[in-house]
Chains A and B, each alone.
Chain A
């Protein structure tokens, strides 16, 4: 396993992007599927190479590969190297990203064939779609492989650009274009902190190299407030990308993109990038109690906060979207709590710090598969019914057995039912929360109940009971199972959702991440029930499922009456805590646009005669040039210059 074959993992999707853009798109007719085949071939090969990398890393001493760096630019004291960082974290992420991406690309072959609302006939956008999907995957692989913060930032932004293009893929829908912009701007708010953190770290240490930064943070050469602020800045980037509170608002709207894109964004690429970043720079966090506390608290709060909104949504994709936010909260909590636990460690090393990320990353690993599965399932349902509104669904179990069974497997895994994958990683998070802070543990436990409830609410509403919709979208009123090209990836993911958790049944995953220095409390497929915690967690999850059954399956309790009884709470959840309104109407429109921005513009363009546009028109009409310069604006401009000079002089003299 050489460096060049690892480079290839990243370069393959880049090649497929370039081939599609420069050869296929101009020269091949738009209905051709060839772009899809090229992408699938590239990512399939990348998956194969990723698996080989995983094997090599497992065999390598210290689970780390050393790959020579390439110097990108040297100028004076500035020297930026480009290199790969391949350790156990990288290897796991490579497999996750390429697997999910490959499944999504295959599924898209079938999905994108029909799913082009109101487009011109013949323009399915296959080429455009696959070009961006390739670039999206490549950018994410770039984030994972880079060994320098600067380079991670470059790919990080590329991920953002691709998500912008893909969420707004159906650009003739205004809602899609707006959602794309919202996603881009909101995540950039977080990126701002990330960039400042990179600058601060660079200026203080003179390097962007992650292994070096990790060493410095652990050795204590990088410490105190600098380290805390740098860690919090990095975390703010992660909060944006991983849709944590308060920057979570873009993710539910991002559902406007094609469903396979949602699956990719939610499971493996964009949102995972945030968690990955925190894990990658974890030794920096480990050195600051404040930083890890912030991570844990934001994570736990987001977990329960997003779950409450998932309880009440009617749109199947939105429920799954909120569940993503909530599950990402788990991962952040796991990282933060593990960091807090490290504070009691006597002698901290980079290895120990890196090992502490195992719990969070294991959940990321499992979550990727079952969440991709749930999204693909939602897309399959949409394919048959033509809607995402669960009030228009029901009774799909008979018509779509494959979709139903795979979706239930995904749901059980998400709810954390033994022995599916979600069970193993979730219980570890519960355990570490219990060890650090009982309040966080309580929040997570409540979230477990809600999670089981809302995902089975979806299952009962969608697949149970009678069909409530008016027609099937593509099949003349006849509901049907999706094509094999779509069902196939779902089956593969369902199998993964069952078995991926077994990696850690005897602590194998933790050992892989941490050189065997940490021990998991998990001990065997059945041995785990020697502890009380899995009993409690399983009981809570089953209670959630039962509650969903009681309301939406058997209808012993009427959903409407509950909605009425808890009306204020219901409204609060359903309107997403009014945060969209707060952000858009109050902060952006009222305070910024109408208040500060408009005020500044008024002052700038001349208080005397109102806005310049009005002026331009009146002057243009009369054709009298001199008149306009006599309106006082020119004098005002001169006055500004004069006042500016006077102000500077005054300040200089008063200060000097």
Chain B
């Protein structure tokens, strides 16, 4: 067994168990967060070391060809480790105040969910995709209901029921694909499908339906319209750090799976152009619906929920480009990875600032952010900057991300979609700026300063630096994403 190739996951699992055990012993629960961060750091170091040892374009399979150790998987492992660290840093204040008696489980579940997502990014086999997806989802579901108040419980119930429905849909899709090809390993499936030499996308109806069902299953994870309806309720009801985690990590994991599955098994041009078109339409729907409904929202978490639907739409422009024009797809794939990274830092910075502020005010309503600039200048500045990134304005990371993905879209001949996307960015400026306007230009309800812990401020600083660095010097990360996606090249 190649256990050293599995070290990031082993470390995470072990850390999660250690946290649960430690929870029984230690009195100061802050230590648990420290242990979690340490575990994630070690896991991240292992990942980086493995990246360093990897030859360009090399991909080895372990565990009976079920898991891939390649640059693509490693990129996502590092991304998830980073996201989880920032989420834990942002959780310290919140968990201390809102969940004083269950911090051990909380941090352990965050780690387990991250573990599930890491597996999602590296699996190359249908059944293990399903299993890792469930591991991630179930941990998330437990996290969503952590507040144990009606809103939180209701959100969790909605999430688990819908997630169950979607799992069934996805399993059915996998069953159809298996039925047609007789294989579960992605590479083998791809081989069979290529040898089938289909004449039309629906020449094999079972395969076509299976593909659509998989789109629905993964579309749920990334919050694509019309599989998005859980998003606003769950985002609003979940504990805010969990919402932050859900919004960036779950989406990134979904895209990781989509990229791997669709560019391998459905990589033949006939199929890829039709799923490309499906994603193009879903992208247009998600952007438009997400942005337009975000406009009238008064609760900031709900607003960011709809915004995350819209962001999924922008990301899917990249997917559509890959499907429709594999030649133009190279930059689309790297663009999606870059977009995910920049969305992660921007959204996490935004949520971290929101956590600090709402911890003080006790309200998620945008109106209660009035005059925050006077009460918490650093938090307001960070939140403003992250929202600017979400709008997609220079010099923040979001601009380069959108630009990269959209130019892949234009190159694939999807000018109409890009026009819709840019128009949507204009709409989105309106609701993001409303928050900025309230924070900077409205009178504060009180003069009291907003306190925050060192851990939270540190996390916020890192995320904000990330937003700025990815915007000003995107070259380094873009190179990494190019390397990460080089192994996804379409099979001939």
Contacts and interface: CB of A to CB of B under 8 A. Distances in A.
A600 B292 contact: yes
Interface in B86-144: none
Given A641-B165, A656-B208, A195 B422 contact: yes
Nearest to B157: A629
Contacts of A164: 433
Contacts of B461: none
Nearest to B225: A644
A608 interface: no
A644 B281 CA distance: 12
A524 B404 CA distance: 53
Nearest to A606: B229
B162 A638 contact: yes
Contact of A634 (B162, B289, B406): B162
Interface in A236-282: none
B423 interface: yes
Interface residues of A, number: 68
Given A76-B331, A189-B426, A605-B232, A203 B411 contact: yes
Contacts of B411: 203
Interface in B140-180: 150-151, 153-154, 157-158, 161-162, 165-166, 169
Contacts of B205: 653
A637 B394 contact: no
Contact of B334 (A76, A200, A616, A624): A76
Nearest to A171: B441
Nearest to A185: B430
B429 interface: yes
A18 interface: no
Interface in A55-88: 72-78
Contact of A653 (B151, B157, B202, B233): B202
Interface in A619-641: 619-620, 623-626, 628-629, 634, 636-638, 640-641
A75 B479 contact: yes
Interface string A581-606: 00000000000010011101100110
Nearest to B472: A72
B274 to A, nearest CB: 6
A403 to B, nearest CB: 32
B212 A641 contact: no
A202 B388 CA distance: 24
Nearest to B299: A613
Contact of B169 (A616, A634, A645): A645
Interface residues of B, number: 75
B191 interface: no
Contacts of A623: 150
B429 A656 contact: no
B382 to A, nearest CB: 15
A75 B202 CA distance: 38
Given A188-B426, A641-B227, A645-B216, A629 B208 contact: no
A593 B295 contact: yes
B391 to A, nearest CB: 9
B157 A625 contact: yes
B6 interface: no
A492 interface: no
A619 B154 contact: yes
Interface stretch (A153-161, A357-365, A390-398, A557-565): A153-161
Contacts of A634: 158, 161-162
A641 B161 CA distance: 12
A624 B157 CA distance: 13
A49 interface: no
A579 interface: no
Contact of A168 (B393, B395, B415, B441): B441
Given A76-B482, A641-B166, A652 B226 contact: no
Interface string A143-176: 0000000100110011001001000100110001
A597 B394 contact: no
A177 B441 contact: yes
Contacts of B406: 199
B323 interface: no
Contacts of B56: none
B350 interface: no
B330 interface: yes
B109 to A, nearest CB: 21
B151 A73 contact: no
A502 interface: no
A181 B422 contact: no
Contacts of B162: 634, 637-638, 641
A627 to B, nearest CB: 9
Contact of B226 (A153, A180, A640): A640
Contacts of A192: 422-423, 425-426
Nearest to A602: B293
A652 to B, nearest CB: 6
Given A195-B422, A648-B278, A652-B278, A171 B440 contact: yes
B274 A73 contact: no
Contacts of B482: 75-76
A176 B442 CA distance: 11
B425 A625 contact: no
Contact of A202 (B232, B298, B407): B407
B453 interface: no
A644 B422 CA distance: 25
B200 interface: yes
B369 to A, nearest CB: 14
Contact of B475 (A75, A604, A619): A75
A625 B150 contact: yes
Contacts of B330: 76
A519 B433 CA distance: 49
Contact of A196 (B295, B419, B474): B419
A648 B212 contact: yes
Nearest to B224: A644
Contact of A172 (B331, B443, B474): B443
Contact of A637 (B208, B230, B407): B230
Given A600-B289, A649-B209, A637 B475 contact: no
A291 to B, nearest CB: 18
B216 A153 contact: no
A476 B220 CA distance: 69
Nearest to B425: A192
Nearest to B441: A171
Interface in A22-80: 72-78
A189 B406 CA distance: 18
B233 to A, nearest CB: 7
B441 A656 contact: no
A577 B230 CA distance: 45
A646 to B, nearest CB: 9
Nearest to A599: B292
Contacts of B212: 645, 648-649, 652
A19 B368 CA distance: 32
A175 to B, nearest CB: 11
A525 interface: no
Interface of B: 150-151, 153-154, 157-158, 161-162, 165-166, 169, 200-202, 205, 208-209, 212-213, 215-216, 219-220, 225-227, 229-230, 232-233, 236, 274, 277-278, 289, 292-293, 295-296, 298, 330-331, 334, 388, 393-395, 399, 403-404, 406-407, 410-411, 415, 418-419, 422-423, 425-426, 429-430, 433, 437, 440-443, 473-475, 478-479, 482
Give the 10 A-B CB pairs with smallest separation, nearest first.
A171-B441, A73-B475, A644-B226, A154-B394, A75-B478, A637-B229, A656-B201, A656-B202, A177-B441, A203-B410
26 contacts: A73-B478, A75-B482, A154-B395, A157-B394, A157-B399, A171-B442, A176-B441, A177-B441, A185-B426, A185-B433, A188-B429, A191-B426, A199-B406, A600-B293, A625-B153, A634-B158, A638-B165, A641-B165, A644-B216, A644-B226, A644-B227, A645-B169, A645-B216, A648-B215, A655-B274, A656-B200
Given A75-B334, A199-B418, 8 more contacts: A73-B475, A76-B334, A157-B394, A184-B429, A199-B406, A620-B151, A625-B157, A652-B278
